[in-house]
Amino acid sequence: MSITIAVTGKGGVGKTTISALMLQWLVAHKATPVLAVDADSNANLNEALGVSYSASVGGIREDARRQAKDLAGVAKQEFLDLRVQEALVEQDGFDLIVMGRPEGPGCYCFANNVLRDVIKRLADNYRYIVVDNEAGLEHLSRRTLLTVDHLFIVSDCTVRGVRTAGRIARLTAEMGTPVADCGLIVNRVPGGVLPDAVRAEAEAAGLPLPVVIPMDDNVAVLDAGGIAVGDIPDDAPARQAVNTLMERVHDKELLNVKR
């Protein structure tokens, strides 16, 4: 059974940056193999990791709809299985899969369900799965791929941002998405010190704060230069903060295994 870590939050809060750093921690600590899922329709996790991809699941789904029309049952399943395999970008210690553009409105066709099964089966091959979700919770509901062991809602360092994160947490609960552990990550915190008002808002929302990620010029400089943010140095404050979080997540999971 794989352990799923999902990162969510509104646009531009740092989900992709954090997902990339989480993945790198897992790979560096041999908590592998890891499947990185870019579930954002405007895919960019690959850029943060400095890898390129040629096919997305959304794209497969489109041709599958056309080509698989003539196929049925097992043949259709095998066809989709093969196409998903083709969309996997294999790297050292991890694979990346890009979900791509969402399907057209009202399309709950058979191919989608089959694809979901294919991805679920694929998931069993990995120790960890890191899902970089797009803003909102589309993927956690309509396109639910997996159950979530650790859900991290990312927010900027504002009271309003944390309020939004609280709303996302409530929505997730209402939608019945099975989440074992949910936490708030406040990102881009000036000087790494969380303002009292922001902390109070997190408490009011009932969201545990497993880590605070400082505003880090290393990230900003690489991103501005079009360089993969995954290339920030080992001692970069943002990386150190994510490392601390991942140590805790991994320790907790090791305990679960022993139990």
Q: Which residues bind ligand ADP (CB under 6 A)?
A: 9, 11-17, 187-188, 213, 215-216, 219-220, 223, 229, 238
Q: Which is nearer to ligand ADP, 122 or 185 (CB)?
A: 185
Alpha carbon separation from 130 to 5, 74, 206, 258 (Å, rounded): 5, 29, 24, 22
User: What are the Cα distances from residue 90, in Å, to 25, 33, 46, 94?
Assistant: 17, 10, 12, 6
Residue 213 site contact among ligand ADP, Mg ion, none (CB < 5 to 8 Å, cut-off depends on kind): ligand ADP
Strand 211-214 relative to strand 179-189, pairing: parallel
What is the binding site for Mg ion (CB under 5 A)?
Answer: 15-16
Closest to ligand ADP by CB, 17 vs 177, is: 17
- Of residues 15 and 150, the one with the C-beta less far from Mg ion: 15
Closest CB 258 distance from Mg ion, rounded Å: 35
Report the residue number, 13 or 207, with the smaller CB distance to ligand ADP.
13
SS3 content of the chain, % helix, strand, coil (to 5): 50, 20, 30
Nearer to Mg ion, 13 or 198 (CB): 13
Least CB distance to ligand ADP at residue 215 (A): 5
Strands 179-189 and 148-155: parallel
Contact residues for 248 (Cβ-Cβ < 8 A; gap 6+): 210
Which partner in Mg ion, ligand ADP, none is near 229 (CB below 5 to 8 A by kind)?
ligand ADP
Write down the least CB distance from residue 181 to ligand ADP, Å.
20
CB of 123 to Mg ion, least distance (A): 21
Residue 4 or 187 having the CB closest to ligand ADP: 187
Q: Which two tokens stand for residue 96?
A: 């990346």
CA 77 to CA 110: how far, in whole Å?
A: 10
* Least distance to Mg ion, CB of residue 134, Å: 7
CA 240 from centre of chain: 19
The site partner of 190 among ligand ADP, Mg ion, none (C-beta below 5 to 8 Å per kind) is none
Question: In 231-252, which positions are buried (b, 16+ CB within 10 angstroms) versus exposed (e)?
Answer: ebeeebbbbbbbbebbeebbee
The option from ligand ADP, Mg ion, none interacting with 100 (CB < 5 to 8 A, set by class) reads none
To ligand ADP, the closest distance from the beta carbon of 219 in angstroms equals 4
Length of the chain, in residues: 259
Q: How far is the CB of 191 from ligand ADP (least distance, A)?
A: 12
How many Cβ atoms are within 10 Å of 2's Cβ, its own excluded? 16
DSSP 3-state of 67: helix
- The residue of the chain with the least Cβ separation from Mg ion equals 16
In the bound state with ligand ADP, the residue whose beta carbon lies nearer, of 76 and 239, is 239
